[in-house]
């Protein structure tokens, strides 16, 4: 099921399955020091996705805007470090997709339950759009919405299943994308939950 999704983008199907148990345990450990929380958009809406981060920089949203911060605003502590198992998985996936020098400094961790959605958006708070984003999906399956550079471009629906890794670079790096409201279900490892890691070079 590996396939090229578009110019610079590749799906590595099931590539995180072998390490999924360890990845979920590491996410749980991160969340003990940097808890999952629902953030507010600059427009004052509460996001339905619960988020936390690891790495030198973490993505945050509040009434002042979207940005990367070196400390967790909830605790004022630095974000937990990116675990070695995360870094090697992301590095291998990026290299397979043609980005041999990917050195992420930020990892956003998203948590979904049935009904949770992520509306169509672009990831453009990073400095260098020549660097890809690597995403790892764990737990319940999702329908990924993948559009174009313009918000009104047609949208494709791509299933993202437990263990799937996708690398988004090149001409797809600034594509609009989102997640359709999660369907009800149970996963053996995560229960009624989907977890998504996105590795980024923010600075």
Binds ligand MD3 by CB under 6 A, chosen from 53, 116, 131, 135:
135
Q: How far is CA 8 from the centre of its chain?
A: 17
Taking the C-alpha atoms of residue 134 and residue 11, their distance in angstroms, rounded to an integer, is 10
Q: What residues between 110 and 169 interact with Fe ion by CB under 5 A?
A: 123
Copy the structure tokens of residue 111. Answer: 């948590």
123 binds ligand MD3 (CB under 6 A): yes
Total Cβ atoms within 10 A of residue 20: 21
Per CB under 6 A, the list member of 10, 108, 165, 167 interacting with ligand MD3 is: 108
Cα–Cα nearest to 140, from 198, 186, 179: 186
Q: How many residues bind ligand MD3 (CB under 6 A)?
A: 16
140 binds ligand MD3 (CB under 6 A): no
C-alpha to C-alpha distances, 115 to 42, 66, 135, 142, nearest whole angstrom = 22, 24, 21, 11
The yes or no reply on residue 173 touching ligand MD3 (CB under 6 A) is yes
Binding region for Fe ion (CB under 5 A): 123
Binding region for ligand MD3 (CB under 6 A): 108, 110, 118, 123, 133, 135, 142, 166, 168, 172-173, 175, 177, 179, 196, 198
């Amino acid at each position: 099921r590996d396939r090229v999704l578009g110019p610079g983008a590749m799906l590595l199907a099931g590539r995180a399955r072998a390490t999924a148990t360890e990845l979920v345990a590491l996410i749980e450990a991160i969340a003990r020091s940097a808890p999952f929380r629902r953030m507010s958009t600059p427009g004052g809406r509460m996001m339905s996705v619960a988020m936390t981060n690891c790495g030198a920089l973490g993505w945050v949203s509040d009434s002042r805007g979207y940005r990367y911060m070196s400390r967790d605003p909830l605790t004022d502590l630095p974000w937990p470090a990116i675990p070695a198992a995360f870094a090697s998985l992301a590095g291998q996936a990026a290299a397979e997709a043609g980005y041999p020098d990917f050195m992420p400094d930020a990892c956003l961790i998203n948590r979904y339950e049935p009904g949770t959605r992520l509306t169509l958006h672009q990831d453009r708070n990073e400095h260098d759009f020549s660097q890809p984003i690597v995403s790892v999906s764990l737990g319940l399956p999702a329908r990924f919405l993948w559009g174009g550079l313009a918000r009104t471009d047609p949208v494709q629906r791509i299933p993202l299943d437990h263990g799937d890794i996708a690398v988004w670079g090149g001409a797809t790096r600034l594509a609009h994308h989102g997640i359709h409201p999660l369907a009800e279900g149970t996963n053996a490892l995560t229960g009624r939950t989907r977890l998504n890691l996105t590795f980024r070079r923010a600075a």
